[in-house]
């Protein structure tokens, strides 16, 4: 969906942290997490075509992952697996 847009280059650290090779993969991950929170997808104007927008996407993705890992529903899921 986003692969045709210009993309900011990803550092090796970001590639390793998220297991991606392209910026559009970060956007897909973020949109999937946001959909689970009933949030709208990332607007095209915030697509990581610049380093500033890439920083925003990475920050929001880290926050969304943190929220998912520490949500009450994930705690219940972990407790039910014990």
Domain total for the chain?
1
- Any domain includes 4: no
Structural domain boundaries enclosing 67: 12-81
- Kind and range of the H or E element at 44? none
- Any domain includes 63: yes
pLDDT in tens, 10-51: 999 999 999 999 999 999 999 999 999 999 999 988 999 999
Q: How sure is the predictor about 81, in pLDDT bands with cuts at 50, 70 and 90?
A: very low
The CA-CA-CA angle for residues 76, 39, 53, to 5°, reads: 115
- Any domain includes 28: yes
- Any domain includes 17: yes
Q: What is the mean pLDDT of residues 44-59?
A: 93
- Any domain includes 2: no
- Any domain includes 49: yes
- Any domain includes 34: yes
Q: What is the mean pLDDT of residues 49-76?
A: 87
Report the 10 Å Cβ neighbour count for 10. Answer: 20
Task: Give this prediction's pTM.
Answer: 0.80
- Any domain includes 47: yes
């Amino acid at each position: 969906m986003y692969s045709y847009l210009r993309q900011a280059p990803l550092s090796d650290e970001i590639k390793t942290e998220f297991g991606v090779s392209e910026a559009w993969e970060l956007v897909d991950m973020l949109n999937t997490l946001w959909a689970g929170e009933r949030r709208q997808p990332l607007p095209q104007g915030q697509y990581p075509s610049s380093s500033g927008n890439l920083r925003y996407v990475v920050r929001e993705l880290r926050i969304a992952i943190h929220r998912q890992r520490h949500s009450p529903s994930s705690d219940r899921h972990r407790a039910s697996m014990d």
